[in-house]
Structure 1
Amino acid sequence: MKFRYLTPLLLLSLIFAGCNKMLDIKPVNRMMPVTISDYESVLLGGYPRVDYFMKTELMTDNVYANLNIIASAQKDLDLWFTWSPSKLADGVETDPYWGQLYTSIYYANTVLDNFNERQPASNEKELFETVKGEAYALRAWSYFYLANYYAEPYSPATLKAHGVPMPLTAKDVHQNTQNNVREPLEKVYTQIVSDLDQASVLLAGKKSRNKFRFDASAVQALRARVNLFMGDYEKAISAASDVIVNKPLSDMNNMQTRIDDKEDRYAFTGNVGVIDGGDYKNEILFFTGGVANTNIYYHANYMFRPSQELFALCNRSTGGKDYRRYIFATFADMNTNEGKQNGPTLYNMYAKQENPCYYIGLKVSEAYVIRAEAYARLKQKDKAIADLNALLVRRIRKGEFVALKAADFSDETLVSRILEERRVETAFEGGLRWMDLRRLGKPALSHVYKNGQIYNLKQNDNRYLLQIPPSELNNSPSIPLNP
């Protein structure tokens, strides 16, 4: 990379001056970017590096505590599973989720500040537009997560509710270090949509670099997700359709050869997870969030496991053998001491903890369940059923799948079935279950934990919003907190 070197206390500290005191942003180097390639490196440094959504699954009905396991859970996991008002350990003021997402925004803004004033040479135009498009996508992604963690779910009743701070340039960070404000939720979503529109135009027709970076299809998948959460079903259908037309849905029947060779219990364990079997990786559009050696739902010493309620949704007594059960099943003999200790479930998407693998951020099957839900909510039952069948025929063993029929569902039961399939397809991916629970009415939940103690999350509980971190309150004392 071509960097212009300044003194150690200048360089990117000119960019980052004071920003570590606002929004928990932390500089990663002290070099001043100059070329478009330099700014590409800045952008790549802004892609999230922590598992900023896996712990939110602990707050959902997708997880239970297997109390037969001897080892105790990490203290910070307790805080999430029991819906503690604060998810930070005693004496800790910085929230790594808040900090990571605002760091990503800062890096994206740094790129956009420069590129909005820059005219690329003709031989640099493609790289310029690719990097700029990714920067818009990364900023939209980050604001979407911030809004869905720290603000109310989007609805006509919450448009004026407190959203999150929304710096749109690196300069904003310097100017508002001690005077940060939470923009209205409607304004935050308007910006997300605008950024995705920009990203879509800039990345259209560009060659995909790899699945760790946004490309045109990943942007469309994210647009479909955002529009679904906004209740804009026609636009959700349009964006999801663009993904479905251009990207293949994996057929899990391709795992059968390995299953026949290894048998159920040993087909996906050790060094091979479900993501490694068949052609499943082909439908992944975007990996994110750090290597999966922090899979807190797999190892025998970890007590938090996929719930049996979740497992039952892909282990129905009728409709054929569902290959998605291999994502969640131990296939252990529950009549043995070992089986009782291990329990019936684990999260086996990524195999054992030691295997490096990035978390799934966006994939093709999400586009199918988004479009199916949008069709169903618009009372287009036949189209919704067609999408469900297109998904399930690639999840159920060949020769055993029985197509669903519109006549067997009312409008309400069809939406319920689609949401069940969405829950299975997106479990432990992108923090979607927690965000879905929020948008679907913030239902009451309960968890059983140590010594049989029952913890409850009430309907519409204030704890459905994560609290603004103490570090932000210290920097901006007048910033409104969540209830």
Structure 2
Amino acid sequence: MKKHFNLVMLLSLIITYSCSEDILRNDGVSNASNPTDVFTNAQLEQGAITNPDIPAAFVNGIYAQMVQTGTGGTTNHDDFGQKGYDIFGDMLSGDMALSVSNYGWYRADITEFQAPLDFTRGRNRMVWRYYYRIIRSCNNVIKSLGGNDFVPSLDENKFAMGQAKAMRAHSYFYLTQYFQKEYVANEMILPLYTEAISTNLPKSSAEDIYNLMEKDLEDAISLLNGFNREAKNQVNQDVAKMILGYVLGAKGGRDAEVASLTRDVINSGNYTMLSQTQLVSTAAGVNGFIDVNSPSWMWGFDITGTNGLGLVSWWGQVDAWSYSYAWAGDYKVIDKSLYDMIPANDGRKGQFLNNPASGRYLQPLFKFRASNAIGSAPRPITTDYVYMRVEEAYLLNAEANANAGNDGLARTSLKALVSRRVPDASYIDGLSGQALKDEIYKQTRIELWGEGKSYLAMKRNKATTVRGTNHLSFVGVPIPYNDERMQFEIPLDEIQNNPFVSEQNQ
């Protein structure tokens, strides 16, 4: 199913963004040259936008930025929206290894940790700019609909407001994960922009930012009640519940709420976990990881030729079947130690090339597959992006219940998934306490490999990573989740241009 946007409005939005780079602040807040200029001041002040097509078009513009190249402010070939930062996280966590590097993408700044250790490195600014850019867009939509505390009367505008609030929370969530070692309530971590303003703000506390995320997502869940989305790129109530589950899981101490939210998603009946036959591709088009219509996908983007994606894309970096760096000489593979943890009779083991003599050893050739010949997927790319699968709900539910001491409920959720991956999952019945928690974490890493969730799980589980033998650097070095190398730094441009942040950093 392809989303039909208001193309005139959407193109106007994208052109406004791309042409305003010279006046774009690094805190993500633009001056008067922003998309809300199409609204009158009176409309903005009174929340008087009554044409449902206008807010909907701008919300769709937010989603478009998630797949747009250059949204991190560069022409780098790793600058292509949300999936680009999913790769950053997968590599920082160590679960995605760079086993061959002929072109250098990800090697110095990410796999060798140069960006997390040096605020002048450009990848810090890419992450910062992308998420604040989304936040700015969300603030514009929210203002156009009446402001943070306004509830629109039109259902269409309620739905637009709900999506904008969910996406604002989603962006702040990733900023908290990438720029704070772990949740410390009184630590001043990020500027908190909730209005469409053009002035700099000082850093706010983690508590204040988490409070906003929680309120935004609770509002979104209410506002999105009854929303039947036209395409899976849009956030619906289930996706908002999952984002809130991730937020509360990262904060800690809210396990009962996380378990309840994820149980709601599981019980909705709107999604089905991938079957054994959908796990491994023997030919393009037969697996569950390339098409947004896959029944397990809760949230994803239906990539079409009009998106203009090619080499500079997630597929262009990770998939060897595409015209890609993964084909030509920058190989992204599963960490050897993690691969060795997958039982021989587990269907997911077959997602990776098990041929030590091959230069492509442990590439995900049979999980993600865009064509039937190495390096031959046509351009522009039309293979879709996955943001969230229902399997995440089962795993997060199991994790929350295990943390709350509800081992029986945790085993039930975990077994529901693992029984679809191995012939006999009865071993789970004998797990409890820390052994159960460890199994849930391991299954999360295996099930969601390459999907951008390993970093989040590492931080929730306060894990220490140890890279396997197929990494190019730091092999065998224990690196805890809260090590300096695991978080980005507030970028140089922000420190130079935001006097409040500069003073706070002294």
Question: How does the TM-score come out when normalised to structure 1?
Answer: 0.80
Q: Is the 8 A contact 1:274 1:351 kept in 2?
A: no
Q: Once the 2 structures are TM-superposed, how far is the Cα of residue 45 of structure 1 from its aligned partner?
A: 1.4
Give the distance between the partners of 1:30 and 1:116, measured in 2 at CA. 13
How far off its partner does 1:106 sit? 0.8
CA contact (8 A) 1:442 1:464 kept: no
Q: For 1:103 and 1:91, locate their aligned partners in 2 and report how far apart those are by CA, in whole Å.
A: 19
Q: Distance in 2 between matches of 1:61 and 1:192?
A: 28
Residue 350 (structure 2) pairs with residue 346 (structure 1): no
* Correspondence 1:7-406 to 2 at 5 A: 20-24=24-28, 32-33=38-39, 35-47=51-63, 48-49=66-67, 50=81, 51-67=84-100, 72-86=102-116, 92=122, 95-116=125-146, 125-154=154-183, 158-171=184-197, 174-176=198-200, 180-231=201-252, 232-246=254-268, 247-255=270-278, 267-268=281-282, 273-276=287-290, 281-287=294-300, 292-296=314-318, 298=320, 299-300=326-327, 301-314=329-342, 316-317=343-344, 321-327=345-351, 329-332=352-355, 334=356, 339-346=357-364, 348-352=366-370, 354=377, 355-396=381-422, 400-406=423-429
Q: Which amino acid aligns with 1:306?
A: I
Distance 2:388 2:7 in 1: 33
TM score, norm. by length of structure 2: 0.76
Deviation at 1:394, TM superposition (A): 2.2
- Supply the distance in 1 between the matched residues of 2:290 and 2:251 (Cα, whole angstroms): 34
Q: CA deviation at 1:185?
A: 0.5
> Percent same amino acid at aligned positions?
17
**Counterpart in the other structure of 1:411:** 433
Aligned 8 A contact 2:96 2:332 in 1: yes
CA shift, 1:54, in A, is 1.4
Render the CA deviation track for 1:423-462: whole Å, top value 9, x for unaligned: 1122222x32122223333525447689877595644421
Assess, with a 3 A threshold, how the Cα gap between structure 1 residues 376 and 147 changes in structure 2: closer, same or farther.
Answer: same
**Judging changes above 3 Å, is the alpha-carbon distance between structure 1 residues 444 and 293 closer, same or farther for their aligned structure 2 residues?**
closer
Output the CA distance in 2 between the equivalents of 1:268 and 1:89.
44
**Which whole-Å deviations, capped at 9, do the CAs of 1:99-133 have from their partners, x for residues lacking one?**
11111111111011121268867xxx121111111
What SS does the corresponding residue of 2:299 show, helix, strand or coil?
strand
State how far apart, in whole Å, the 2-side matches of 1:357 and 1:424 are: 22
Q: Deviations over 1:182-202 (max 9, x none)?
A: 110011111000000000000
Contact 2:141 2:164 in 1 (8 A): yes
3-state SS, counterpart of residue 271 of structure 2: coil
Bigger radius of gyration = 1
Q: Structure 1 residues 444, 238: closer, same or farther in 2, change over 3 A?
A: closer
Rounded Cα–Cα distance in structure 2 between residues aligned with 1:451 and 1:415: 30
Unaligned runs of 5+ in 1: 260-266
Shift of residue 152, structure 1, vs aligned partner: 2.7
**8 Å contact 2:114–2:121 — kept in the other structure?**
no
Partner of 1:427: 449
Matches of 2:467 and 2:347 in 1, distance apart? 29
Structure 1 match to 2:306: none
Alpha-carbon distance in 2 for matches of 1:271, 1:37: 34
Q: For the aligned residues, what is the CA RMSD?
A: 3.6
For 1:239 and 1:217, locate their aligned partners in 2 and report how far apart those are by CA, in whole Å. 9
Contact 2:418 2:425 in 1 (8 A): no
| Secondary structure, counterpart of 1:66 in structure 2 | strand
Q: Per the alignment, in what secondary structure is the counterpart of residue 234 of structure 1?
A: helix
Change beyond 3 A, Cα 1:482–1:424: farther
- How many angstroms does 1:12 deviate by? 6.8
Cα distance between partner residues in 2 of 1:55 and 1:358: 19
Provide the rounded CA distance (Å) in 2 between the counterparts of 1:91 and 1:162.
22
Size of the alignment, in residue pairs?
A: 438
